[in-house]
Structure 1
Amino acid sequence: MDLEKLRQEREKWLTWKNIKPLRDALDNLESGTYNIELGDVVKIEGEYEGDIKEVAKMMMPWRKGPFELFDTFIDTEWQSNIKYNLLRKHFNLKDKRVADIGCNNGYYMFRMLEDKPALLVGFDPSPLYRTQFDFINHFVKSDIVYEMLGVEHAEFYEEKFDTIFCLGVLYHRSDPVAMLKQLFRSLDKKGEVILDTFYIDGDEEYALCPESSYSKIPNIYFVPTIKALKHWCLRAGFDSFEVLETSKTDAEEQRKTEWIEGQSLEDFLDPEDKTKTFEGYPAPQRVYVRLIKDK
């Protein structure tokens, strides 16, 4: 696969008529030296004369975060610090080659900088999320590499990875085992994948197959039991499957704010029974697992 040709083609996406004004706004950002705090809120502090809020509003919707740029607080739909802090005790990225597949605007990668990985690469084909990343990174000035590529390209990347994060992607794929194989082939020897996906309760190896949508999300194909997920991972070639955490998505973690457009979790659930989705399926809950490639 010719990744360089693909990169050149996708760079043109940044000139789309809905993206070009955002890129122009990036080109007009002031430069300077700023204080950076990479905690639950990724904060940029210092003196800035321009209207940061106006630029940030142009880039809506903001899904992952939160961020605070000078006097502008971007209250994102997802309080991504909750997931990050849930997983934080389970990994150490120092001197490792790390990928975040489905990285959105890079919030998790900015948080990962504290571990001082040798390489940090984000994969996400969205030109909007790439632009949000470039906006934040204009001030952070990190060496993070952002590729407008997908999981299907990771195995052809110029590097193999020691650790891959793949959070909230698997249920969007119509062939989850094929995707897990792609992750497996993207790892170096002794590599690991930290993955999360929706799951349903049950002791059997089966999966929910939504008719048209799940929690009002049309591109959700399979929601497995944990046992079914384990079998998928073993079939993909992984030697080890470890459940790290489970959680239920609630209104503290995902909710509507002024920084998104459209609906959020409260609209996706049955208004009469919050244990069910709008369609009547079990409400979203997530399992976080570590997958190991031993050889």
Structure 2
Amino acid sequence: MIDYQNLYSFLTEHPKLARWAAQLPDQTEQGLSTQRFGDLPGWFDALQNMPDICPDKVDLLNGVSVQSTLDDATSRRLLDSLQALIPWRKGPYQLHGIELDTEWRSDWKWDRIKHAIAPMTNRLVLDVGCGNGYHCWRMLGAGALRVIGIDPSPRFVVQFAMIKRLLGQQLAVDVLPLGIEALPSDLMAFDTTFSMGVFYHRRSPMDHLRELKATLRPGGQLVLETLVIEGREGEVLVPPGRYAMMNNVWFLPSVPTLLSWLTKCGFRNARTVDVCPTTTDEQRSTEWMRYHSLSDFLDENNPSLTKEGHPGPIRAVFLAEA
């Protein structure tokens, strides 16, 4: 249903990625197994039922937008397919006249980092925990040679496949149904590795930093975005229960603490390029994500705190080189 042959060919011909190419077909088959994920057949049906549309204009530099003029029947069929994959969390997308307003304004995050990171031109990029691949498209639009996103959620992988089909081109970007632990050790192949919104979900932060470093060629750049707390070096919040209603949040370090962790794990020139509170304008419920969102996770009497009384979400972006 999802064709990875172009990616397999690219990996096979790459001197440092060929060993991954040998095991990747089995990994993708397992990651998209309808026996493991009962909703997958319906999602695949929605993908299959999408209309074939020849785009008039594609813009990946200023957003993720594909435009053409559709008749009412084709537009309705497209809308039905996209709605079958609700909730849509990362975006937004402009798709042949449909404004797909996602839970997150992921474009705001990209705008905060795009001028700070190394230029994407001709870079081989890995995006860890990429969701439905919104930022992968922005990386490609900024000039990346090839972008590979990984995310273990099959819903997100099928959402990405929908967008790729709508763009109507064989573009050098893919999203694989994998977590970082599925990658061979010490690839040392990517020019840039992104990890955005993943770090605080990892039980072992040092191990995650070492996994990220192992993906990068010498001199390659890490772009790490995560939840942080205000505080001095050595200060870390380890929520005893949930954080903002999430039960899989393990470590929220202060900015100085995370900088020291990056250095300890062998990264060079670790630095902070953005620190920004997450607001209910950036993360909220929409018609494309109808469930609880950030406003429901904050203290209704003091929105600077989470429901549990922890400091409200602040996200920081760090850069460092391998």
Q: Tell me, yes or no, whether TM beats 0.5.
A: yes
The aligned residue for residue 273 of structure 1 is 302
The aligned residue for residue 28 of structure 2 is 7
Matched, 1:23 2:40: no
Gaps in structure 2 of 5+ consecutive residues: 1-19
Q: Could you tell me how far apart the structure 2 residues matched to 1:14 and 1:73 are? A: 33
- Quick one: which amino acid aligns to residue 134 of structure 2? Y
Gaps in structure 1 of 5+ consecutive residues: none
Residue 159 of structure 1: CA displacement?
7.0
Structure 1 pair 125/223, CA: closer, same or farther in 2 (3 Å)? Answer: same
Matched, 1:68 2:99: no
Q: Could you tell me how far apart the structure 1 residues matched to 2:36 and 2:316 are? A: 38
**Equivalent residues in 2 for 1:138-287 (5 A)?**
138-140=165-167, 141=169, 142-156=171-185, 160-287=189-316
Matched, 1:44 2:66: yes
The aligned residue for residue 10 of structure 2 is none
Which SS does the other structure have where 2:126 is aligned? strand
The aligned residue for residue 124 of structure 2 is 97
Alignment counterpart, residue 158 of structure 2, candidates 111, 119, 131:
131
Matched, 1:113 2:135: no
Q: Could you tell me how far apart the structure 2 residues matched to 1:291 and 1:235 are? A: 12
Q: Could you tell me how far apart the structure 1 residues matched to 2:266 and 2:27 are? A: 28
Q: Could you tell me how far apart the structure 1 residues matched to 2:179 and 2:186 are? A: 11
Indicate conservation of the 8 Å contact 2:51/2:78, yes or no: no
The aligned residue for residue 109 of structure 2 is 83
Structure 1 pair 14/186, CA: closer, same or farther in 2 (3 Å)? Answer: farther
Alignment counterpart, residue 32 of structure 1, candidates 18, 40, 53:
53
Indicate conservation of the 8 Å contact 1:198/1:286, yes or no: yes
Deviates more, 1:199-208 or 1:98-107: 199-208
TM-score normalized with structure 2 length: 0.86
Structure 1 pair 111/157, CA: closer, same or farther in 2 (3 Å)? Answer: farther
Give 1 or 2: higher strand fraction: 1
Q: Could you tell me how far apart the structure 2 residues matched to 1:202 and 1:10 are? A: 39
Indicate conservation of the 8 Å contact 1:193/1:291, yes or no: yes
TM-score normalized with structure 1 length: 0.94
Structure 1 pair 9/157, CA: closer, same or farther in 2 (3 Å)? Answer: farther
Residue 145 of structure 1: CA displacement?
2.1
- Quick one: which amino acid aligns to residue 231 of structure 1? S
Q: Deviations over 1:217-261 (max 9, x none)?
A: 110001111111112212222122111111000011111111113
- Quick one: which amino acid aligns to residue 160 of structure 2? F
Residue 47 of structure 1: CA displacement?
3.3
Indicate conservation of the 8 Å contact 2:229/2:314, yes or no: yes
Structure 1 pair 32/57, CA: closer, same or farther in 2 (3 Å)? Answer: closer
- Quick one: which amino acid aligns to residue 136 of structure 2? M
Residue 13 of structure 1: CA displacement?
4.3
Q: Deviations over 1:251-283 (max 9, x none)?
A: 111111111132111011100011111100100
Q: Runs in 1 of length 4+ with deviation above 6 angstroms?
A: none
Structure 1 pair 288/272, CA: closer, same or farther in 2 (3 Å)? Answer: same
Q: Deviations over 1:45-74 (max 9, x none)?
A: 113425221111110100000012223211
Q: How many residues align?
A: 293
Q: Deviations over 1:79-109 (max 9, x none)?
A: 1110000001012111111011111111111
